Structure 1
Amino acid sequence: MERAIVISTHGGPEVLTVTELPDPVAGPGEILIRVGAFGLNHAEAYTRSGAWGQVAAVPGIECAGLVEADPSGELPVGKRVVAILGGMGRTRNGSYAELVTVPATNVAAVETRLPWADLAAVPEVYATAYSALNGNLALGAGETLLVRGAVVDALLDLVGNSVLRDSLAAVGPRGRVCQAGFLGGFAPVVDFDPIADLPSGVRLSFFGSAFVLGSRAFPLSAVPLDAICAQVEAGVLKAPPHPDLPLRRDRRGPPGDGGGPGPGKDGRHPRPTRSRPRRGRRSRFVGPVGTGAVPSPVRVNAGVAGKPGRR
């Protein structure tokens, strides 16, 4: 039996409950991962609240850990990997657990020796940013990415529909806007008229990582996650997590979770402080003491330093 966090009913963070579930088994085209650490993302506030309808009992859309089983034999047992999306937390049980099965197309092997909590801060946020900047926006040398208020060549919009008109107006002639988040909520743009609201020559695109990353059209292999992890390990990219807390039912909810949809994955601002797990401890939260005003990452460490926990 594995320990997992489940959504007991739709609501605030108090509905998250630690329980025991039968160990999952990898089927054809799947990989079983023993989770070393996993992240809390903005999207999970919506799945927990019921805004996205019926979803899997176990939330979580990303993790870092070790291969426990790969029926195809492609990845050896014990191989260090990260996993993103592939239906986790939506159509299949997600990563808030000690074990999780993930479609092989949504698993990437990495060579980094980053601690689990640090590694779990990388996959979803960097894969989304890389895909949007290099795919949708095709950002090139000499171009300017938005500093809001300036006229720029390309704009990555993580707020969503509530600022779409402003975003379209902020780019220069033949500029590009990629909407890749919904921190401002799901409400549609009222009376949006492409003829009036879309400037001539400006290109608008959308990148929904939760729906496409790992598909044939958007393969995870196109994202250099191993190289990104190496840059994090070298200190070129800054992605440290927050201090960790035990993996247990906390009536206040996960740190940084205000109890409803709010700032999260798409606008996360990692902070430099963290606490490494001590050998022999049970699964642990790795997260901020958040106020809800600053987008913050949260990570959960499910094992000990360098090795995911086993029962």
Structure 2
Amino acid sequence: MSHPAAADGAAPATMRAVVVTRPGALDTLEIKDVPVPVRKPGWVRIKVRAFGVNESEVTTRKGESDAEVTYPRVPGIEGVGVVDEADEDSGLRPGQQVATMMGGMGRAFDGAYAERVTVPAGQVIPFETGLPWDVVGALPEMFQTAYGSLTRGLDLKSGQTLLIRGGTSTVGLSAATMAKEIGVTVISTTRNADRGDELRAMGVDHPVVDDGRIAENVRDLVPQGVDAALELVGCTVLPDTFACVRVHGSVCFTGALGGGWTVPDFTPFMIPSGVRLTSYAGEAADLPAQVFQQQLQAIADGRLNVPVAKTYRGLEQVRDAQADVESGRTPGKHVVLLDG
């Protein structure tokens, strides 16, 4: 048995979606009328209200994803909206607000650049909020990645010091606000000295300009070394990040914004004695529903800032959104808002 479609009527036979017809430039993103996805048992169909646009989707569009992607493909690794149809025993009801992310969305199966998307029930996070959809749409992937990195990756505790390398990225900005909520002193990097005020506005205690070698500057701030470091720039700067961390401190490798996913001729002796290296590449299950709800409340209360760079209206502006993400000129999250 399954719940029927939401109260606004049964799902139509077709829907509009952005389809990557082949790897390539922005013109390979085409708006098409496609069949509404048929929900499989154990899956949930969601009516999409907003979705974030991410670097990984640009990579998928260009054919450079490290995941196996076939074309044509509807991209989109995250989305928010309302339940359209779900199994009766799923605990989800039509019209309920939900978020979803990762788990193969937009890569192994069609993603959220569409009016409707189907995903496994295990990667659906229910919530209740009066926040605007474009604000909520900015959150799932960056909250999941930031929260998972700080908790599962680094086991961050109140009173500790955290270095975020890649601080003006969406995950870096989100991690800074979450870390301050925990009660942590945050040092965060930017390659552009003019962005220091942006980092301070997100709660960062000490912005540091990153020229590739920051260990000396970090040690000036924290002579014994930081307790934890979140690495978002990549393996090209990883040895320098190690040098920022105290004995028995930890580095969590989560991203490679500057390229460099591997270390040539790696040897474990590259890791300083007593410094711990881990990584994070989690899924939706790493962001518990109650934590997501708490974060939404913190935003509503004004205790947590959301780094939204720009909101785009409708699927017609997806190309613009991807172009802006690819340019890297505007820090923060780029969000596409769909009509209700």
TM-score by length of 2: 0.73
Look up the match of 2:299.
232
Structure 2: stretches of 5+ with no match in the other structure: 1-13, 164-186, 190-213, 219-224
Superposed displacement of residue 92, structure 1 = 0.6
Q: Does 1:12 align with 2:25?
A: yes
Contact 1:40 1:60 in 2 (8 A): yes
Look up the match of 1:264.
none
Look up the match of 1:62.
78
Looking at structure 2, the residues matched to 154 and 24 of structure 1 have their Cα atoms a distance apart, in angstroms, of: 43
Structure 1: stretches of 5+ with no match in the other structure: 259-290, 304-308
Contact 1:161 1:185 in 2 (8 A): yes
Contact 2:48 2:79 in 1 (8 A): yes
Looking at secondary structure, tell me which structure has more helix per residue. Answer: 2
Deviations 1:140-197 (A, max 9, x none): 12210012531311001111212111111111111100011121124521222211x1
Taking a change above 3 Å as real, the CA distance of residues 293 and 250 of structure 1, as seen in their structure-2 partners, is closer
Taking a change above 3 Å as real, the CA distance of residues 253 and 225 of structure 1, as seen in their structure-2 partners, is closer
Q: What SS is found at the alignment partner of 1:224?
A: helix
Q: What are the within-5 Å matches in structure 2 for residues 77-226 of structure 1?
A: 77-146=94-163, 147=187, 149=214, 150=218, 151-195=225-269, 197-209=270-282, 213-214=283-284, 219-221=286-288, 224-226=291-293
Deviations 1:239-279 (A, max 9, x none): 15324344216766635133xxxxxxxxxxxxxxxxxxxxx
Deviations 1:55-93 (A, max 9, x none): 460000111100000123421100011111121011110
Superposed displacement of residue 219, structure 1 = 4.4
Taking a change above 3 Å as real, the CA distance of residues 66 and 251 of structure 1, as seen in their structure-2 partners, is closer
Superposed displacement of residue 292, structure 1 = 2.1
Q: What's the % identity of the aligned pairs?
A: 39
Contact 1:144 1:154 in 2 (8 A): yes
Structure number with the bigger relative contact order (C-alpha 8 A, sep ≥ 6) is 1
Taking a change above 3 Å as real, the CA distance of residues 219 and 296 of structure 1, as seen in their structure-2 partners, is closer
Out of 312, 330, 336, the residue aligned to residue 244 of structure 1 is 312
Contact 1:35 1:97 in 2 (8 A): yes
TM-score by length of 1: 0.80
Q: Look up the equivalent residue of 1:182 and give its one-letter code.
A: A
Q: What SS is found at the alignment partner of 1:257?
A: helix
Taking a change above 3 Å as real, the CA distance of residues 29 and 47 of structure 1, as seen in their structure-2 partners, is same
Taking a change above 3 Å as real, the CA distance of residues 58 and 135 of structure 1, as seen in their structure-2 partners, is same
Taking a change above 3 Å as real, the CA distance of residues 253 and 78 of structure 1, as seen in their structure-2 partners, is closer
Superposed displacement of residue 234, structure 1 = 1.7
Looking at structure 2, the residues matched to 222 and 248 of structure 1 have their Cα atoms a distance apart, in angstroms, of: 32
Q: CA RMSD in A?
A: 2.0
Look up the match of 1:75.
92
Rg larger in structure: 2
Q: Look up the equivalent residue of 2:254 and give its one-letter code.
A: A
Deviations 1:203-235 (A, max 9, x none): 1111013xxx14xxx544377111111111222
Taking a change above 3 Å as real, the CA distance of residues 231 and 255 of structure 1, as seen in their structure-2 partners, is farther
Contact 2:17 2:315 in 1 (8 A): no
Look up the match of 1:26.
39
- Mean Cα deviation higher: 116-125 or 160-169: 160-169
- Mean Cα deviation higher: 53-62 or 72-81: 53-62
Contact 1:13 1:253 in 2 (8 A): no
Look up the match of 1:44.
57
Look up the match of 2:333.
297
